[in-house]
Amino acid sequence: MEHLINFKDWTPRDVESIIAKAIEIKRDPAKFRDSLLEKSLAMIFQKTSTRTRVSFEVAMTQLGGHAIYLDWLTTQFKLADIRDEIKYLSRNVDCIVARLKRNADLMKMSHASEVPVINGCDDKYHPCQVISDLMTIKEHKGQLQKLKIVYVGVHNNVCNSLIEVCTMTCMQITTVTPIIHEPAQDAELLEKAKETGLYNLTLDLKGAVKDADVVYTDSWVDMELFFDPKFKEEKDERIKLMMPYQINAELLKDSKALIMHDMPIHRDYEISGELIEAPLSIIYDQAENRLHSEKAILLKLLHRE
């Protein structure tokens, strides 16, 4: 049985196929209308979400199936052993998507589950997001190979998954990440990426974006911590350190790079407001494409494609 936790068990061909499938589904959604008839997806969220929740739920509806939203705090997941709850759940549904705080808990889930488990974003990886990202780049550029993407921000879960998937698809990826987000550390993933010769790190932001095809940023502070008084001191420190790395019109004045952000956005922190709807921004396309790419993920894991 196949899960999607990260891309460690996937081949470059798997990644390319799923991107191609997502583009095909977007072009002709009616062709896939009944592909998951009578199938059910459980969606377990320990953290907040807009896109991941909406895209998976709408994807299941449009594929003829059904999705059930389970809020961690109002289910027995909060009280019981995760393995027992998953053993039960996987006898009643065909697939599970989970947004958990800790990758270690997601691994427990996937080991206990009798149906495919999809990582809806944990502290280490966000695989569904980056499938949508590469789909969007391919739509706009016609190819992925040899393109240069520059990720600017905190080295977090999205950054890990981007490094993983870009190096698998022969894209060059440069990261400008003054802060390594501790829980996201994955030495094995970074070592493997370095061996490809496609992954570079720098703090020279201007130099990095000069010849970039894509400039990508993400929030510096998790949404749920942004307004948490206990996190205020660290938030203020992060903002002070990261402000010189903001993506803005001055930085990109000579650039033809596409502008990406996985959302939610903290306007005028990691990206200046005027860039969000600038002609080169593909931010809303990449968010929309979560729907089409979630469909491709569900069809692959449920062996419908």
Residue 13 structure tokens = 């061909």
How much helix, strand and coil, in percent to the nearest 5, is found in the chain? 50, 15, 35
Residue 201 structure tokens = 């790190």
Q: CB under 6 A: which stretch of 72-80, 164-172, 230-238, 258-266 binds ligand CP?
A: 258-266
Looking at 3, 21, 51, 292, which residue binds ligand CP (CB under 6 A)?
A: 51
Q: CB under 6 A: which stretch of 1-9, 64-72, 159-167, 257-265 binds ligand CP?
A: 257-265
Residues in region 84-123 near ligand CP by CB under 6 A: 121
When asked if residue 224 is in the footprint of ligand CP (CB under 6 A), the reply is: no
| DSSP-assigned letters across all residues of 6-39 | SSTT--HHHHHHHHHHHHHHHH-GGGGTTTTTT-
Closest approach, Cβ 197 to ligand CP, in A, equals 29
Closest CA to 217 of 155, 305, 300: 155
Closest CA to 201 of 187, 190, 214, 186: 190
Torsion sign over Cα 283, 288, 291, 293: negative
Closest CA to 135 of 281, 10, 291: 291
Phi, psi values for residue 123, rounded to 5°: -70, -15
Looking at 9, 31, 50, 195, which residue binds ligand CP (CB under 6 A)?
A: 50
The Cα–Cα gap between 253 and 280 comes to: 12
Looking at 6, 35, 46, 49, which residue binds ligand CP (CB under 6 A)?
A: 49
Closest approach, Cβ 121 to ligand CP, in A, equals 5
Closest approach, Cβ 153 to ligand CP, in A, equals 13
Closest approach, Cβ 162 to ligand CP, in A, equals 12
Q: CB under 6 A: which stretch of 8-16, 17-25, 43-51, 270-278 binds ligand CP?
A: 43-51
User: By C-beta, is 118 or 198 nearer to ligand CP?
Assistant: 118
Q: CB under 6 A: which stretch of 47-55, 183-191, 238-246, 270-278 binds ligand CP?
A: 47-55
User: By C-beta, is 3 or 51 nearer to ligand CP?
Assistant: 51
When asked if residue 222 is in the footprint of ligand CP (CB under 6 A), the reply is: no
Closest CA to 7 of 101, 116, 130: 130
Site string for ligand CP, 139-178 (x = CB under 6 A): ----------------------------------------
When asked if residue 46 is in the footprint of ligand CP (CB under 6 A), the reply is: no
The Cα–Cα gap between 191 and 188 comes to: 5
Binding site for ligand CP (CB under 6 A): 49-52, 121, 129, 262-264
